[in-house]
Structure 1
Amino acid sequence: MLAETLSASILGVDGALVRVEVDVAFGLPGLTIVGLAGSAVQEARERVRSAIRNSGFEVPARRITVNLAPADLRKDGTSYDVAIAVAILAASGQLKRAPSGVGLLGELALDGAIRPVAGGIALAAALHDAGVGEVIVAPENVAEAQCVTGLCVRRAARLADVVAHFSGVRTLAPAGPQPERPARRLDAGVDLADVIGQTMARRALEIALAGRHNLALCGPPGVGKTMLLRAAPSLLPMLDDVEAIEVSRIYSVAGLVDRRAPLLRSRPYRAPHHTVSTQALVGGGPRLRPGEASLAHRGVLFLDEALQFRSDALDALREPLEAGSVAIARVDGAVRMPARFTLLTAFNPCPCGWLGAASGACRCDPQVARRYAAKLSGPLRDRLDLWVTMAEPRWTHVRHRDARETSVTVGERIRAAWQRQHSRQQASNAELAAADLSARLGFSPGLLGALEQRGRRFRLSPRRLHRTAWIARTIADLSGASQVDVAHLDEALHYRPEAAS
């Protein structure tokens, strides 16, 4: 006898519908799973057998074949356990009919309890996109599944509850709305007012976060590079509804979401250690997990001591910085994961850190210092929109803390600039294309001529020229101006690498 149920599989950070087909036929007793099933799926044979038996049902002493379709899609994880068990019970006649139009997600314990699975938001969204209107999940996955609008979510603690529901013995009531927790901003632990001096670097950070531009801070040890960039979380606006679903789906797949409150509202702020591997930074590995670049999507990726990172890991960020996504190819296909983030970097100019400093003499051989700086390749440097070389602050700055703006004040300006960008072009300034350089966005013909003249004078690459224009647009947004003028353009040019060196 043949039966079919519906489940879903994780593919990158998205889900894909999986049809679980079970055939129970005469032959030697056994349970075979086909359809490019990974090791965790193959182990489901023992989990399903024990769960069925310990739930009061019988495992048919026949040849059982389980096909996970489509067969050319690799299946990993434990989300198919419940669907396989229900299909076996339906195919063996212990359940009158197989459920139709209902998705089943969950891992089975040996005693028949249903355990949560990672990626609940992506799995539920895949079922909904395929036209499935109802899903049964473990109690811990209910809040994640309810993030998908228009999907009826039912909770089941045990396999026996699912069978009773489909048999009409006991109905699983739709889960009620989860209480919404108040959105909390990430605790940065650092306020901008705590940073001594560094007026230009503070201004560059404000511009970078307001327009989602990439920023590099270079300077000797102890001048406040790391401290300044650690204040970024307190300056970022909260995620809107669309962005919150997008980011929460990534964190759900990575298993980093709080299942009681899975909808993230604070923008991600990721700060990996410099020993991170290339796969951990951009994603990949045997199970194609999202890397730090994808986990920083719609937020900030902070690389402290950036020149201590592996050169190949740094260069792997070139494509995400340009395209806003990471493409990972495998023999059996390619996966694209979102990775549109603001890159913040901090590093010393040489191994000892004192090259060009007033209070310390550099002890590095010139060739060693050049090799150290070369870890940041030319193409990656060209993608860093703002570049500031920080010097040691004067002691007079220490006594005037009240004159330094707080994160609350600067954060309000950044939020206002974001609102102007969204109302004007529904995107950040950093996401604009070269074709958008027009009067509609506040660039007059005279300003475009000035931009071209300065591009020739400073020998800017086309990418650098356009990014300078978008930085000028952000500076105008911060000042509340609808038109970009020459003063905005000249300030933007101060942050190019050649001006900072």
Structure 2
Amino acid sequence: MLVQVLSSSYLGIEPFLVEVEVDVTNGLPIFNIVGLGDATISESRDRIRSGIKNMGYLLEPRRIVVNLTPANIKKRGSHFDLPIAIGIMIGMRFISDYRGILKDYLLMGELSLTGEIRRADGIISGVLLAKSKGFKGVIIPEENLEEASIIKNIDIIPVKNLRDVVKFIEEGTIRSKRVINPINEIKNNLDMLDVKAQILGKRALEIVAAGGHNIIMVGAPGSGKSMLAKRIPTILPSMSEDEIIETTKIYSIAGELNERIPIVINRPFRDPHHTSTTTSIIGGGRTPKPGEISLANNGVLFLDEFTEFDRVVIESLREPLEEKRISITRSLGKMEFPAKLIFVAACNPCSCGNKFNEELCTCTPYDLRRYTKKLSGPIIDRIDLYVQINRLDDREILDKEVGDSSKIIKERVIKAREIQKSRFSSDKLNRDMNNNDIETFCFLNDECENTIRTSIRSLNLSMRTYHKILKVARTIADLDNAPNIEKKHLLEALSFRKN
């Protein structure tokens, strides 16, 4: 008996439909799975046998052949256990799909040896695929219910074991769904008030948050670079529903979701150690998975001790920082992962960290040249703001006066982003402006033109750097609620360039 059950898989983060064909016939007892499945799928044979048997069904020796279509695309994941098991049970006539459920629903879920259905990765991608293809719904593990429930207008059938699936297929009985708590952000106890002084650093981060720009902070050890960076999420607007779905989808595929974090509500803040490999940062592997740069999508990627990262890692950031996506080509094909993030780097100015205080610096001119060479021109060229973070003096340390709180700064950032949303009629930020946008929205009067002309000559600015200065100036003008870029906005943007 030939049975077809629908499921899904994904290339990169893009899902595609998979038809699970199960042929159960008399003959030499075998159980083969074909169709370019990975090792996890091959190992599913023993899980499926035990799971069906321990649910109380007698598995007679039959010839079982499972084909995953399309057969020319590599498939991976334990979520094929459920559709294969249901196909076998129907093929052996343990159950009957007389209600035609299998043609209207996608099935996904990992099977345990007891017949329980466990959490699987990439479920939300399958739900999105089912909705886009016009299917009635999906049958998924109960543990993935909260993750899948953020997708509206599609039936989501949570199941705990094979018996639940049988009841739904034959009787339409649905397990009572758990109550989903309303989506609320997890409160962040950090605040910009925790950082003393550092007025320039806080101003730079406000501009970064408002326009989505990249920044590098250079300063002595203990000057507050990491404290500032870790508080960037507290001044960013809350994620939209589309951003929550997109980010949760990436985390689901990467296997980063669990019972404690079923949905990504807060903007991601990723801060990998400087010993991280290129693959862990950029993504990839034999079967490409998202790296830190994609896990930080719609959030912040913070690389502390930036100059201590491997040079290959640093240089590999060039394309994703510019294109806001990362393309990985393997024998399986070309896969793209998003990288719409705010990039924040922090490093010392020299090996000893005291370059800004000549009395304490022990580095020789050769040491300084070797240290600064770790950051190439092309990388610096892709960073919008360069800010020097100085160590606090005794007056600043003992000063009781505090600046604006994260809440106040966040309100200004939200207003600036609302201006951008109105300008572009979309969620595009100033960092995403193309050449036509710059020509249209970054008008310079004669005074500003003379200023930027002098800067191009004196600082030897590239075309990319020129555009970045205009984008930052446009963001500063938005924070000032100014319709056009003025000289003070342009000068402030220029002050954040590395001389």
Tell me the TM-score normalised to structure 1 length.
0.93
| Equivalent residue in structure 1 for 2:142, among 136, 139, 144 | 139
Q: Name the structure 1 match of 2:265.
A: 265
1:159-198 deviation per Cα after TM superposition (whole angstroms, max 9, x unaligned): 1221232223x612574762314323444x3x32333333
Change (3 A) 1:164 1:416: same
Q: Is the 8 A contact 2:142 2:158 kept in 1?
A: yes
CA distance in 1, matches of 2:295, 2:161: 33
Structure 1 counterpart of 2:104, one-letter code: G
Look up the SS of the partner of 1:297 in the other structure.
Answer: coil
More displaced stretch, 198-207 vs 338-347: 198-207
Report what 1:182 is aligned to.
Answer: 184
Give the conservation status (yes or no) of the 8 Å contact 1:152–1:174.
Answer: no
Partner of 2:57: 57
Alpha-carbon contact 1:144-1:259 (below 8 Å) kept: no
Give the conservation status (yes or no) of the 8 Å contact 2:7–2:20: yes
Query: In structure 1, how many angstroms separate the alpha carbons of the residues matched to 2:448 and 2:404?
Result: 33
1:488 aligns to 2:489 (yes or no): yes
Taking only the aligned residue pairs, the percentage that are identical comes to 38
Measure how far apart 1:261 and its partner are. Answer: 6.2
State whether residues 144 and 262 of structure 2, in contact with CA within 8 Å, keep that contact through their aligned partners in structure 1: no
- Matching residue of 2:375: 376
- The aligned runs of 1:11-90 (5 Å cut-off) are 11-90=11-90
Q: Equivalent residues in 2 for 1:357-372 (5 A)? A: 357-360=357-360, 362-372=361-371
User: Quick one: distance in 2 between partners of 1:209 and 1:142?
Assistant: 33
- Cα deviation, residue 369, structure 1: 2.5
Q: Which of 127-136 and 154-163 deviates more? A: 127-136
Q: Secondary structure at the match of 1:103?
A: strand
1:92-491 matches, within 5 Å, as 92-97=92-97, 99-168=102-171, 171-172=173-174, 175=177, 178-187=180-189, 189=190, 191-259=191-259, 262-360=262-360, 362-425=361-424, 426=426, 427-439=428-440, 441=441, 443-444=443-444, 446=446, 449-450=449-450, 451-491=452-492
SS in 1 for 2:370: helix
Mark the runs of 5 or more structure 1 residues left unpaired by the alignment. none
SS at match of 2:284: coil
Partner SS for 1:250: helix
Partners in 1 of 2:343 and 2:278 — Cα distance? 16
Secondary structure of the structure 2 residue equivalent to 1:5: strand
CA-CA distance at 1:390 after TM superposition: 2.6
Which secondary structure does the structure 2 equivalent of 1:205 belong to? helix
Select between 331-340 and 247-256 the one with higher mean Cα deviation: 247-256
Of residues 349-358 and 101-110 in structure 1, the stretch that sits farther from structure 2 once superposed is 349-358
Task: Give me the whole-angstrom Cα distance separating, in 1, the residues matched to 2:347 and 2:444.
Answer: 37
Provide Cα deviations, 1:234-280, integer angstroms capped at 9, x if missing partner: 11111011111111111222232354763333211111111111111
Residue 9 of structure 1 corresponds to which residue in structure 2? 9
Residue correspondences, number: 493
**Distance in 2 of aligned mates of 1:300 and 1:82:** 37
- CA spacing shift, 1:202–1:164, aligned 2, 3 Å: closer
Q: Bigger CA drift: 295-304 or 177-186?
A: 177-186
Letter in 2 for 1:64: I
Counterpart of 1:367 in structure 2: which amino acid?
Y
Instruction: Indicate conservation of the 8 Å contact 1:185/1:238, yes or no.
Output: no
Alpha-carbon separation, structure 2, partners of 1:5 and 1:289: 26
Q: For residue 302 of structure 1, what is the amino acid of its counterpart?
A: F
Between the aligned partners of 1:101 and 1:452, the Cα distance in structure 2 is 63
Amino acid at match of 2:209: L
Query: Shift of residue 338 of structure 1?
Result: 0.6
CA distance in 2, matches of 1:11, 1:474: 36
Equivalent position SS for 1:465: helix
SS in 1 for 2:329: strand
Range 149-158 or range 446-455, more displaced: 446-455
Instruction: Kindly indicate whether the alpha-carbon contact (under 8 Å) linking 1:186 and 1:266 is maintained by their aligned counterparts in 2.
Output: no
Task: Indicate if the aligned counterparts of 1:143 and 1:261 stay in contact, CA closer than 8 A.
Answer: no
In 2, are the aligned partners of 1:215 and 1:385 still within 8 Å (CA)? yes
Contact 2:5 2:21 in 1 (8 A): yes
Post-superposition offset of 1:289: 2.0
Partner Cα separation in structure 1 for residue 260 and residue 355 of structure 2: 50
How far the C-alpha of 1:454 sits from its partner, in A, is 3.4
Structure 2 unpaired stretches of 5+: none
Indicate if the aligned counterparts of 1:51 and 1:110 stay in contact, CA closer than 8 A.
Answer: yes
AA in 2 matched with 1:366 = P
Q: 1:281 deviation in Å?
A: 0.5
The answer as to whether partners of 2:124 and 2:249 remain within 8 angstroms in 1 is: yes
Per the TM alignment, residue 393 of structure 1 is displaced from its structure 2 partner at its CA by 2.6
SS at match of 2:115: coil
What code does the residue aligned with 2:364 have? D
Secondary structure of 1:497's aligned partner: coil
* Deviation at residue 432 of structure 1 after TM alignment: 0.7
The structure-2 alpha-carbon separation of the partners of 1:157 and 1:194, relative to structure 1 and needing over 3 Å to count, comes to closer
What does the per-residue CA deviation read over 1:132-159, in whole Å, with 9 as the maximum and x for residues that have no partner? Answer: 2211111111111222222101111111
Distance 1:175 1:253 in 2: 24
Paired amino acid for 2:460? R
SS at match of 1:166: helix
Alpha-carbon distance in structure 1 between the residues aligned to 2:225 and 2:24? 65
In the TM superposition, residue 403 of structure 1 has moved relative to its aligned partner by 4.3
Alpha-carbon spacing, 1:175–1:327, altered in 2? closer, same or farther (3 Å): same
- Equivalent pair of 2:22/2:66 in contact (CA under 8 Å): yes
- Deviation of 1:339 (Å): 0.9
Distance change >3 Å, CA 24–CA 306, structure 1 → 2: same
CA RMSD of aligned residues (A): 2.0
- CA positional deviation for 1:328: 1.1
Amino acid at match of 2:174: L
List, as ranges, runs of 4+ consecutive aligned residues in structure 1 with deviation greater than 6 Å: none
